[in-house]
A and B are shown apart, each in its own frame.
Chain A
Amino acid sequence: MKFKVKIKRYNPETDAKPHWETYPVEADPTDRVLDVLHDVKWFQDGTLTLRRSCAHGICGSDAMRINGQNALACKVLVKDVVKEGGTLTVEPLLGLPLVKDLIVDMEPFFAHYRSVMPFLVNDTPLPEDGRERLQSPEARDRFDQGTKCILCAACTTSCPSFWANGDYVGPAAVVQAHRFIFDDRDQAAAERLEILGQQFGVWRCRTAFNCTNACPREIPVTQLIGEVKQALATGRLD
């Protein structure tokens, strides 16, 4: 099928501000949006710049705004976002500093991630038999959803509270904190909850549900944020 792709372009070495460029493309309906962007980059304009790696929705490199919705370009099929003769729009994520074309500076996002202690803390002695710590299947299931996160930033950069104030840790960091707070092998829940209870913590969430809609891993992000809020409010992890 033939259609147009309209891409927000910005070259920091020559442009004062971003502008739109439109390219005619031909693609199969089951091609990915990433395939379309590659077609433009490889055969029309080599200056188009984007991040991508695995191309099947796992590495989290190619989150961007596709027709105004955050998604991974490698996980959206052409047939689902554009019609024959229509126009597909692609632009960089909002809320993070623009670097070039579809690339934003991810450092503020990763700084928020690092701020919530995203690692297991357990200083008790290891099992004497030299084997694994035990965990029931039910306890393992309790934090399963958050373990799916690929740190693509689709959620955080769809959040109106994050757009309003980039100091908010954002939904991805809360999901990462949730993954450890509700892991019964971990001992630092109180410290993480204290971090998330502060001014730029979880209370900035206004339950807009944009994050849940944006997540390419179908994590119920808003629900996990709600569970962290509840733990803060009740002081209990159940």
Chain B
Amino acid sequence: MTHHHQFDALIVGAGGAGLMAALHASKAANVAVISKLYPTRSHTGTAQGGIAAALGNMEEDHWEWHMFDTVKGGDYLVDQDAAEILARDAIDAIIELEHMGLPFDRTPDGRIEQRRFGGHTAEHGQRPVMRACKSADRTGHMILQTLYQNCIKQQVKFFDEFFVVDLIMTGGVCAGAVAVDINSGEVHVFHAKATLLASGGFGRMFKVTSNAHSLTGDPVAAVWRRNLPLEDMEFFQFHPTGIYKMGILLSEAARGEGGVFINDKGERFMERYAPTMKDLASRDVCSRSIYLEVKAGRGIGGKDYVYLDIRPETINRYQSGPGGKTVTAAELEKKLPDIIEMMRVYMGVEPMKEGVPIQPTAHYAMGGVPTDVDGRVLADAQGAVVPGLFAAGECACVSVHGANRLGTNSLVDLVVFGRRGGRAVAEFVKAAPLAPLPPQPEADVVAELERIRRQTGPEKAARIRAEMQAVMMENVGVFRTGPMIETALRTVRELKDRFGRIQIDDKGQRFNTDLLETFELGCLLDLAEATALSALNRTESRGAHSREDFARRDDANWLKHTFVRYTGTPGVAPTPAQTDITYKPVVITRFQPQERKY
């Protein structure tokens, strides 16, 4: 049976952006948060090193410097009106989190303590600056916990372990969402004036990733399947320090506290690639440098990894600690407890005595559902808005991260644009009418889930997933070429065809994760196709998108955002190959594009 609910607003996802939006929207509206995980399981909780804001608690800093670093970090594809909001609002948003109870680390005079992070500089790139506010190396955990605590305090309504399968689009307006109660397997129609997507990333399209198993971008795929555009999908960040083979993230804070990269010859190779910022250059630069070292045969033992070295003796030899100060093992253990434990548990290495094997890991989608600076989803590259649909956080593209996100700016994005989105939703539902539901809005969902449940064939979802992850990692990774991307695109489309011949084992209703994991795979296949299409189309190198066949940035032709769209019949299944691409100009206010050096 189908259940019906009506709210002023829905929030899909209960990570940092969703909870921040919920706290603000529910002050003025009747709001429901729908999440496929218990809120405290959300991936915001795994963010480690910090959240940037130019508080200036440690040394001189200004929001305008933070804005510049964000724009330069994004290789000038950042919309500068949005970056200005990010950098300005960050200060106030961090103070709001502290007032909510977030246990930030403190300076001796009781203020929020800050540390260095990649790409964050003083005076427009002159030197590293201490800007990242933190709670040891579990900053995201503390943000997620604090926001959830405040949702309990404010009695926000949650639908935990409900899986959103589709958006209800009627006459160009979003009228809610269709979800499955994972526990019962029953379908629920949520009718609402406003729906805000905050579902996070979709890094599970890649083989080596820091992303949770749950990060499959289902609501983003729903946007795609309903013929709405996705922006800048070619820009996917590979974080330089994933644990070798596993991809588990080791925070950039390790280098903020003085850690350095070392190759097989024992060289601190970042001195060659980024003479000023060295190991604290932006993530795209560091990941490419590691790849080039490996390609030149200087990976450890000739293999495809290098060392992250946080031994105090190394840091003190290079004077790479904060402010050039001497560091001790005890200080590092206190500042980086979780990642040091991960090195010990998962790698079996003793980081105070030896290097830690790392390789770049698929980490963050700069692209996603296009929005304006108040979270309103865009229907096209001209900026028309989809009434009733909002997005915030990693699933959205504002765009504050442009072609490459700076470390810590994801958490800033969540709280700044989650808050703005929540306020915009509250404002919107005051005046907007409740769009009437189309007849049987759940029909497509019921049919597609039944089809997956009943279909027979020789294929296994796990094999198709593994093939997709391998081909995307190999061909649409740190470096790409046209022929490589074409290989990936062809393979992904073949896999979509094979998706129709998957046979699942679990035919039941309750907690059918066999069924839902298969549905998630279909979503990833669509988003992998959108990523490859956008990457193939952009014939330049910018930020995280490095084309070996088009090695230079080309501002004359490519200083613009990609809008890729599925143009075929809308639905809830993986889409056929019918797409178009249009472009939106980049907003430039304070900083003209320059050559990017670190």
Q: Which residue of A lies closest to B151 (CB)?
A: A119
**A144 CA / B103 CA spacing, docked (Å):** 8
Contact of A150 among B45, B135, B213, B345 (CB under 8 A): B45
Asked whether A100 lies within 8 Å of B101 as measured between CB atoms, the reply is no
**Secondary structure of the A side of the interface?**
loop
Please choose the segment from B403-411, B433-441, B504-512, B585-593 that sits at the chain A interface, where 4 or more of its residues have CB less than 8 A away: B504-512
Shortest C-beta distance, B162 to chain A (Å), equals 14
Let me know if A135 is at the binding interface, CB within 8 A.
yes
Proximity bits, A39-67, B CB within 8 Å = 1, else 0: 00111011101111111111111000000
Q: Which residues of A contact B461 (CB under 8 A)?
A: 42
Contact of B149 among A12, A61, A119 (CB under 8 A): A119
Residues of chain B in range 192-214 having any CB-CB distance to chain A below 8 Å: 212-214
Given contacts A119-B101, A151-B40, contact A47 B45 (CB under 8 A): no
Chain B residues within an 8 Å CB radius of A186: 101
CB nearest to A103 among chain B residues: B511
A120 within 8 A of B: yes
How many whole Å from B455's CB to the nearest CB in chain A?
A: 14
- Please name all residues of chain B whose beta carbon is closer than 8 Å to the beta carbon of A14 when the two chains form the complex: 508
A147–B149 contact, CB under 8 A?
A: no
| Residues from chain B with Cβ under 8 Å of A120 in the complex | 100-101, 149
Instruction: Kindly supply a per-residue 1/0 record for chain B positions 90-111, scoring 1 wherever the CB is within 8 Å of any chain A CB and 0 otherwise.
Output: 0010110011110111111111
The reply to whether B212 and A99 form a contact with Cβ atoms under 8 Å apart is no
Contact status A150-B508, CB under 8 Å: no
In the bound complex, CA of A60 to CA of B101 (Å): 22
Whether B111 contacts A134 by the Cβ 8 Å rule is yes
B103 touches A130 (CB 8 A): no
Which residues, 163 to 202 on A, are CB-close (under 8 Å) to B? 180, 183, 185-186
- Is B183 part of the binding interface, using a Cβ–Cβ cutoff of 8 Å? yes
Using a Cβ–Cβ cut-off of 8 Å, how many residues does chain A contribute to the interface with B? 58
Indicate if the CB atoms of B141 and A150 lie closer than 8 Å. yes
A residues 123-155 near B (Cβ < 8 Å) are 126, 130-137, 139-140, 143-144, 147-148, 150-151
The answer to whether the Cβ of A1 comes within 8 Å of any Cβ in the partner chain is no
User: Which of B103, B135, B504, B510 lies at the interface centre, i.e. has the most chain A CB atoms within 10 A of its CB?
Assistant: B103
B289 part of interface (Cβ distance < 8 Å) = no
- The distance in angstroms between the C-alpha atoms of A80 and B15, with both chains bound, is 33
B292 at the interface (CB under 8 A from A): no
Q: Out of A43, A75, A133, which one reaches B98, CB within 8 Å?
A: A133
In the complex, which of the residues A41, A75, A120, A130 has the most CB atoms of chain B within 10 Å of its own CB atom? A120
CA of A33 to CA of B94, assembled, Å: 38
Q: Does A59 contact B43, Cβ atoms closer than 8 Å? A: yes
Question: A55 touching B510 by the CB < 8 A rule?
Answer: no
B462 lies within 8 A of chain A by Cβ: yes
Point out the residues of chain B lying under 8 angstroms from A144, CB to CB. 103
Q: Could you tell me if B462 and A54 are in contact, using CB atoms closer than 8 angstroms?
A: no
Question: Contact at A12–B213, with CB atoms within 8 Å?
Answer: no
Within 8 Å of chain A (Cβ to Cβ): is B458? no
Residues in B with CB closer than 8 Å to A41 are 513-514
CA distance A77 to B345 in the complex (A): 8
Residues of B223-249 whose CB lies within 8 A of A:
246, 248
- Is B171 interfacial (CB 8 A cutoff)? no
Q: A42-B460, A75-B345 given as contacts; is B103 within 8 A of A126 (CB)? A: no
| Structural contact, B248 and A99, CB atoms closer than 8 A | no
Bound CA span A50–B457, Å: 25
Given contacts A53-B212, A54-B46, A119-B152, contact A183 B111 (CB under 8 A): no
- Could you tell me the distance in whole angstroms from the C-beta of A63 to the nearest C-beta in chain B? 11
| A180 CB contacts on chain B under 8 angstroms | 101
Contacting residues, chain B, for A114 (C-beta < 8 A): 152
Q: Does B37 contact A (CB under 8 A)?
A: yes
With most chain A CB atoms within 10 A of its CB, the pick from B45, B107, B345, B462 is B345
In whole angstroms, how far apart are the Cα atoms of A217 and B492 in the complex? 40
Q: Does A13 contact B (CB under 8 A)?
A: yes
Contact A47 B103 (CB under 8 A): no
Interface hub of A49, A53, A150, A180 (most chain B Cβ within 10 A): A53
* Pair B506/A43 contact, Cβ less than 8 Å: no
* Interface pair B45/A136, CB less than 8 Å apart: no
**Would A59 and B212 count as touching, CB distance under 8 A?**
yes
- Find residues 58-112 in chain A having any chain B CB closer than 8 Å to their own CB: 58-61, 75, 77, 99-101, 103, 106, 110
Residues of A within 8 A of B562 (CB): none
A22 sits at the interface (CB 8 A):
no
Cβ contacts under 8 Å, A49 to chain B = 506, 511-514
Q: Is A118 close to B, CB under 8 A?
A: yes
Complex: chain A residue closest to B103, CB-CB: A147
- Cβ contacts under 8 Å, B94 to chain A: 132
- Residues of A near B246 (CB, < 8 A) are 56
C-alpha gap A139/B153 in the complex (Å): 24
Interface: A30 (CB within 8 A): yes
Partner of B514, one of A46, A52, A54, A55: A46
Q: Is the CB of B110 within 8 A of A135?
A: yes
Asked whether any CB of chain A lies closer than 8 Å to the CB of B142, the reply is: yes
Contacts of B101 in A (CB 8 A): 119-120, 122, 180, 183, 185-186
Q: List 18 A-B contacts (CB under 8 A).
A: A14-B508, A46-B505, A51-B41, A54-B213, A59-B40, A61-B37, A100-B511, A101-B511, A114-B152, A118-B149, A119-B150, A119-B153, A132-B94, A132-B98, A134-B111, A136-B106, A140-B104, A140-B105
Instruction: A49-B512, A139-B106, A147-B145 given; name 19 further pairs at CB < 8 Å.
Output: A41-B513, A41-B514, A47-B505, A53-B43, A59-B46, A99-B183, A103-B511, A119-B149, A119-B150, A119-B153, A126-B99, A130-B95, A132-B95, A136-B106, A136-B108, A137-B106, A137-B107, A144-B103, A148-B141
Residues of B whose CB lies within 8 Å of any CB of A are 37-38, 40-43, 45-46, 92, 94-95, 98-101, 103-112, 135, 138, 141-142, 145, 149-150, 152-153, 183, 212-214, 246, 248, 338, 342, 345-346, 348, 460-462, 504-506, 508-514
